[in-house]
């Protein structure tokens, strides 16, 4: 397929204009075929950018090491370039769109010299479904093309749906490393220095311009840029929700199923919860999505969710057959690994894979690495944000409904984060608006999923959307309240919960075993949706009674009491922090309902 063959009225000229600016050697259209995928992979291997993995251990799979500076999202270089600053809000970086476009046009000029310009027509959501959104990404990275082919639906079928005048979100991407005549990357991961990286969104014109990074969330523009930042703006305007949420299906021993969505910040357990293998007999969990949910009301008044993605871009470290068997199988073939370690027989290895490093490894920097378990200071062999890219269809727990364009009806929404103290294992909101309050105050320890932030320190990450909301977050809170108001039948609204799998003991051990044992909490959530859960009212919300959740192995009754207690002093400190540091940021944009919930919480805690 050639650019000359494109029948869409504006698409061809748009591509040619960008090619004129960026001056690539050639233009290639991603047609979505297996043959083209294989050809690109072969070229990448020949160029020394990645290595093929052992076909007996991991068929059809390859491993990349990125540049050490290009391992995660760059929040400090991510912009919401709305026409005015207030529309971007206090939590987003802002540059005037005219100024930003001028700067970036300068960077794009000649930036694809010596490279190929790939055209990726992609669909977020099943191709042709009424809820799906089409994007076209122009990129000079073959890594981006093959990852997008796993993460989204790419190719000729998308162009067919686009027809001659269909709408698409235009997405520019370049690694930002033009090649001088005859120069080659020599197998090195191409990217630009941090101060030249820009991950930019123009919400009014629904455009995405990305420059200088090849890493997932910065470069696979269908994911965080389109399906969250731009989609959240569309959702706000059109009355639906675009969220950083997993979607799972849970079935009781009686054969009754419910769908649950959950928002946890980056690297805080969405993939793991979406794929969990329950430890409680008779219960079953299946996977609909592990990172993004789009939710709209159906004609029956229920909120329905779809997963707009087609693959998983999952955190590798900590993933093992014990912790996440379904992810391990998903990534057992036809997968791409980024910043994992390599074994001598060409398989990947990472910290927490469930077995010791077999012999000498090549770490993610490309250096020899031998495990030294006595040395607590040893640098990890895999980067903490090393990732696997795997087709969702390969997941053993994938739910039969996962591609249903109608979506799945959501009964419960979970919010959560990484909190060593204060926040209990689970509590439930009194109603929708109180749930919005809980979502708005979520705090979590910073993880390695974003660069330039201090790992381990707590920050507020409302709805796990702090890095992904494409407009003023105060207005986003109001939008959630409005969606609740728009319900035709309030009793059909999802129940809202706040969970925390990450409590620690004084000596730094996990108080709760997590992973498959989280099914015990899901069971209580399931019962709470049916009104059969054993619950008590507390100052912070509705909580399980002491005997409502069966104890997992290794958890004593005393541990459970701690997991389910209300830490009054800790919560008063939360209130204080929200009141002085968090809510004031939003000024007039903060819905009054939320400050009123904060006042009520404080009064209840003081009376307790």
DSSP, collapsed to helix, strand or coil, labels residue 457 as coil
Smallest distance from ligand GTP to CB 244, Å: 7
**Interface with ligand SPV, residue 291, by CB under 6 A:** yes
The residue written with tokens 């708005």 in the block is 440
Could you give phi then psi for residue 122, rounded to 5 degrees? -135, 155
Tokens of 206: 């629904």
Residue 351 interacting entry, from Mn ion, ligand SPV, ligand GTP, none, C-beta within 5 to 8 Å by type? none
The CB-nearest residue to ligand SPV is 217
- Residues 121, 212, 216, 484: which binds ligand SPV (CB under 6 A)? 216
Quote the CA–CA distance of 266 and 450 in Å, as a whole number.
Answer: 8
Long-range contacts, 583-587 (Cβ 8 Å, 24+)? 585/90, 585/91, 586/89, 586/90, 586/472, 586/473, 586/474, 586/477, 587/90, 587/474
Q: Which residue lies nearer to ligand SPV by CB, 223 or 582? A: 223
**Interface with ligand SPV, residue 266, by CB under 6 A:** yes
340: annotated active-site residue = no
**Interface with ligand GTP, residue 264, by CB under 6 A:** yes
Number of residues that bind ligand SPV (CB under 6 A): 9
Contacts (CB under 6 A) with ligand SPV, residues 403-462: 449
**Interface with ligand GTP, residue 78, by CB under 6 A:** no
- Residues 137, 243, 291, 401: which binds Mn ion (CB under 5 A)? 291
Tokens of 543: 């909580």
Could you give phi then psi for residue 120, rounded to 5 degrees? -115, 100
Residue 216 interacting entry, from Mn ion, ligand SPV, ligand GTP, none, C-beta within 5 to 8 Å by type? ligand SPV
What string marks each residue from 305 to 344 as x (binds ligand SPV by CB under 6 A) or -?
--------x-------------------------------
The burial class, CB within 10 Å (0-12 / 13-18 / 19+), for 431 is: middle
What string marks each residue from 305 to 334 as x (binds ligand GTP by CB under 6 A) or -?
---------xx-xx----x-----------
Tokens of 451: 């660069």
Could you give phi then psi for residue 599, rounded to 5 degrees? -60, -45
Number of residues that bind ligand GTP (CB under 6 A): 22
Q: What Rg, from alpha-carbon coordinates, does the chain have?
A: 24
In 490-607, which ranges are E strands? Answer: 495-499, 535-537, 542-544
The answer to whether residues 204 and 88 touch, using CB atoms and an 8 Å cutoff, is no
Contacts (CB under 6 A) with ligand GTP, residues 498-527: 501-502, 510, 514-515, 518
Q: Please check if 516 is assigned to a binding site.
A: yes
Q: Which residue lies nearer to ligand SPV by CB, 173 or 223? A: 223
Q: How many separate helices (H) and strands (E) can be counted in the chain?
A: 16, 30
Q: Which residues of 106-121 are buried (b: 16+ CB within 10 A; e: fewer)?
A: ebbeebbbbbbbbbbb
What string marks each residue from 36 to 65 as x (binds ligand GTP by CB under 6 A) or -?
------------------------------
**Interface with Mn ion, residue 461, by CB under 5 A:** no
Phi/psi zone of residue 186: left (φ > 0), alpha (ψ -120 to 50 degrees), beta? Answer: left
Q: Which of the following is catalytic: 268, 340, 395, 529?
A: 268
Tokens of 397: 């727990």
Tokens of 319: 């993933």
Q: Which residues pair with 360 in a beta bridge?
A: none
Q: Tell me which residues touch ligand GTP (CB under 6 A).
A: 264, 266-272, 290-291, 314-315, 317-318, 323, 449, 501-502, 510, 514-515, 518
Q: Tell me which residues touch ligand SPV (CB under 6 A).
A: 73, 216-217, 223-224, 266, 291, 313, 449
Q: Which residue positions form the known binding site for substrate?
A: 73, 215-217, 266, 385-387
Instruction: Give the residue numbers annotated as catalytic, written as ranges.
Output: 268
Q: Which residue positions form the known binding site?
A: 73, 215-217, 224, 244, 266-272, 291, 385-387, 418, 515-518
């Amino acid at each position: 397929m050639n650019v000359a063959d494109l029948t869409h009225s504006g698409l061809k000229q748009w591509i040619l204009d960008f090619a004129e600016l960026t001056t690539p050697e050639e233009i290639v259209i991603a047609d979505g075929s297996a043959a083209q995928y294989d050809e690109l992979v072969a070229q990448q291997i020949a160029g020394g950018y990645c290595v093929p993995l052992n076909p007996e251990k991991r068929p059809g799979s390859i491993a990349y090491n990125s540049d050490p500076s290009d391992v995660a999202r760059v929040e400090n270089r991510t912009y919401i370039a709305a026409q005015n600053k207030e529309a971007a809000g206090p939590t987003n970086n802002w540059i005037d769109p005219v100024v930003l476009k001028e700067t970036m046009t300068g960077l794009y000029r000649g930036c694809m010299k010596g490279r190929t310009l790939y055209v990726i027509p992609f669909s977020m959501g099943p191709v042709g479904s009424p809820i799906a959104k089409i994007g076209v990404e122009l990129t000079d990275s073959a890594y981006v093309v093959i990852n997008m082919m796993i993460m989204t639906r790419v190719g000729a079928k998308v162009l067919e749906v686009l027809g001659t005048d269909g709408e698409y979100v235009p997405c520019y991407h370049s690694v930002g490393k033009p090649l001088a005549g005859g120069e080659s990357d020599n197998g090195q991961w191409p990217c630009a220095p941090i101060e030249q990286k820009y991950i930019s969104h123009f919400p009014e014109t629904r455009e995405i311009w990305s420059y200088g990074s090849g890493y997932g969330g910065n470069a696979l523009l269908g994911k965080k840029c389109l399906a969250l930042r731009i989609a959240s703006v569309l959702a706000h305007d059109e009355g639906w929700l675009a969220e950083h949420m997993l979607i799972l299906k849970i079935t009781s021993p009686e054969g009754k199923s419910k769908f649950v969505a959950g928002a946890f910040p980056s690297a805080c357990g969405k993939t793991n919860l979406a794929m969990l293998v329950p430890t409680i007999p008779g219960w079953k969990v299946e996977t609909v999505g592990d990172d993004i949910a789009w939710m709209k009301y159906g004609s029956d008044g229920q909120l329905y969710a779809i997963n707009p993605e087609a693959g998983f871009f999952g955190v590798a470290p900590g993933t093992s057959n014990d912790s996440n068997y379904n992810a391990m199988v998903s990534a057992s073939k036809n997968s791409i690994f980024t910043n994992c370690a390599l074994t001598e027989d060409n398989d990947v290895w990472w910290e927490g894979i469930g077995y010791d490093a077999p012999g000498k490894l090549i770490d993610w920097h490309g250096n020899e690495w031998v495990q030294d378990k006595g040395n607590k200071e040893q640098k990890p062999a895999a980067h903490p944000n090393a990732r696997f890219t795997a087709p969702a269809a390969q997941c053993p727990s994938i739910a039969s409904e996962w591609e249903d364009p109608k979506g799945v009806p959501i009964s419960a929404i979970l919010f959560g984060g990484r909190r060593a103290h204060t926040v209990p294992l689970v509590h439930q909101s009194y109603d929708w608006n109180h749930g919005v309050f809980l979502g708005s105050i979520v705090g979590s320890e910073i993880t390695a999923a974003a660069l330039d932030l201090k790992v381990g320190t707590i920050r507020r990450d409302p709805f796990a959307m702090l890095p992904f909301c494409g407009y003023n977050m105060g207005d986003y809170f109001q939008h959630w309240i409005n969606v609740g108001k728009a319900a035709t039948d309030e009793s059909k609204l999802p129940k809202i919960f706040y969970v925390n799998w990450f409590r620690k003991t004084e000596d730094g051990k996990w108080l709760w075993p997590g992973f498959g044992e989280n099914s015990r909490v899901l069971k209580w959530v399931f019962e709470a949706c049916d009104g059969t859960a054993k619950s008590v009212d507390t100052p912070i919300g509705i909580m399980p009674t002491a005997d409502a959740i069966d104890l997992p192995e290794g958890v004593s009754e005393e541990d459970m009491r701690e997991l389910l207690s209300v830490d009054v002093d800790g919560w008063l400190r939360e209130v204080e922090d929200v009141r002085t540091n968090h809510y004031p940021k939003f000024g007039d944009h903060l819905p009054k309902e939320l400050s009123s919930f904060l006042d009520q919480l404080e009064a209840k805690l003081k009376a307790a």
